[in-house]
Structure 1
Amino acid sequence: MIAKLKGRLDSTGIDHAIIDVGGVGYLVGASSRTLAALGPVGEAVTIHTEMLVSDDAIRLVGFARADERDWYRLLTHVQGVGSRVALAILSALEPHDLHRAIAAGDKAMVARANGVGPKLAQRIVNELKDKIGAVAGGGAIGISGGVTLPAGSFGADALSALQNLGFKPAEASSAVAAAEEELGEGASLDELVRLALRKAAK
């Protein structure tokens, strides 16, 4: 799984950027907020990514900050919210504003995003209200039924990997927590995912 790219900003479009990493150009979909944060073409950039794998394509979605990526993951778990809608929401709202809106049940604020009607906004609020943890200063995201993981950590990446493989959030977070405890600090993402998979499959 590609979790981060560090290279040079080659070019940008309306909804994407191309990051040159060692001569290889990665096309990365992104929100307008992330694109604005990347800076001028030709400059060095670091972008957090989520890799989307389907039957006919592999795509990367990029984020200027890890907490934006974590919110993207939460949003796309809501029925009816695909990648495009999640990016539209993150273009319209800062992560802390989104957290506040969901915690307060403010569907009108969520509905500010392009492509988000009142019914979908209500569903997003209803489904995520119990799933958001204490995102203190954008520092961590909690998943219902599991542990709270630091945003951008290997633990958060491993949790996403297991959920993408079909494990339920509670199962995935318990397995990742057990793997982190066994491996201790300094474990690689690959080691963490492999051990978490073994524990989740038991």
Structure 2
Amino acid sequence: MIARLTGLLAESAADHAVIDVGGVGYLVQASARTLSVLGPIGGQVMVFTEMQVREDAMTLFAFGSAGERDWFRLLTGVQGVGGKVALAILSTLDAEDLSRAVATEDKAMVARANGVGPKLAQRIVMELKDKVGGVTLGSAGALPKATGGFAADAVSALANLGFRPAEAGAAVAAAEAELGTDATLDALVRLALKKAAK
């Protein structure tokens, strides 16, 4: 799983960029917010990434911060929210605005994003309120961070396999407690899968 990319910005468009890493160009989909901070073509960039694998496509999404990636994972966990809709929301609302919208159940604020109707906005607000209940208005949208380097990626891997976020988080936390915070991603995912299957 690709967790981040560091390389040269080869191309930049309205909804994607190409990052040259050692001669290989990675096409990444990104929010307008992330694309606006990448800098000039030819410049050095580092982005956090999330890969979505479907039957007909593999898509790599890029983010300017780990916090934006965390929100992307939460948004795409909501039924009816794909990667493009999640990016549209993240292009319209920053982490603080999104936290405020969820905390105050402001579906109209979420519906400002392209491709988000009132019903979907309502679903997003209601589902995320339970998942990010600990996010306060003063936290600037920060999500609780896992302690280990690969914990967030391990949770994402289990979520991609169909586990609910709460199940995945608990299994990874238990695996990390047993293996230690310097465990490899592979070891963490293997043990977390065993724990989640019990």
Short-chain TM bin: over 0.9
Superposition TM-score, scaled by structure 2 size = 0.92
Confirm or deny that 1:198 pairs with 2:191.
no
C-alpha distance in 2 between matches for 1:76 and 1:107: 17
Are residues 179 and 76 of structure 1, via their aligned partners in 2, closer, same or farther at CA, if it must alter by over 3 Å? same
Instruction: For residue 50 of structure 2, give the secondary structure of its aligned residue in structure 1.
Output: strand
Q: CA deviation at 1:53?
A: 0.5
1:165 corresponds to which residue? 161
CA RMSD of aligned residues (A): 1.6
Instruction: For residue 42 of structure 1, give the secondary structure of its aligned residue in structure 2.
Output: coil
Question: % of aligned pairs identical?
Answer: 67
1:125 corresponds to which residue? 125
Confirm or deny that 1:149 pairs with 2:152.
no
C-alpha distance in 2 between matches for 1:117 and 1:76: 16
> In 2, are the aligned partners of 1:140 and 1:149 still within 8 Å (CA)?
no
Give unmatched runs, 5+ long, in structure 2: none
C-alpha distance in 1 between matches for 2:114 and 2:41: 27
Kindly provide the CA deviation profile for residues 68-122 of structure 1, in whole angstroms up to 9, marking residues without a partner as x.
1111111111111111111000000001110111101111111111111112111
Kindly provide the CA deviation profile for residues 115-141 of structure 1, in whole angstroms up to 9, marking residues without a partner as x.
111121111111111111434344434
Which of 153, 171, 176 aligns to 1:175? It is: 171
2:30 corresponds to which residue? 30
Give unmatched runs, 5+ long, in structure 1: 142-147
Q: CA deviation at 1:36?
A: 0.4
Q: CA deviation at 1:153?
A: 4.4
Number of residues paired by the alignment? 195
Instruction: For residue 28 of structure 2, give the secondary structure of its aligned residue in structure 1.
Output: strand
Kindly provide the CA deviation profile for residues 120-173 of structure 1, in whole angstroms up to 9, marking residues without a partner as x.
1111111111111434344434xxxxxx636x9421111111010011222211
C-alpha distance in 1 between matches for 2:37 and 2:133: 26
Q: CA deviation at 1:15?
A: 0.6
2:21 corresponds to which residue? 21
Instruction: For residue 25 of structure 1, give the secondary structure of its aligned residue in structure 2.
Output: strand
Are residues 18 and 86 of structure 1, via their aligned partners in 2, closer, same or farther at CA, if it must alter by over 3 Å? same
The one-letter code sitting in structure 2 at the alignment partner of 1:10 is A
2:45 corresponds to which residue? 45
1:69 corresponds to which residue? 69
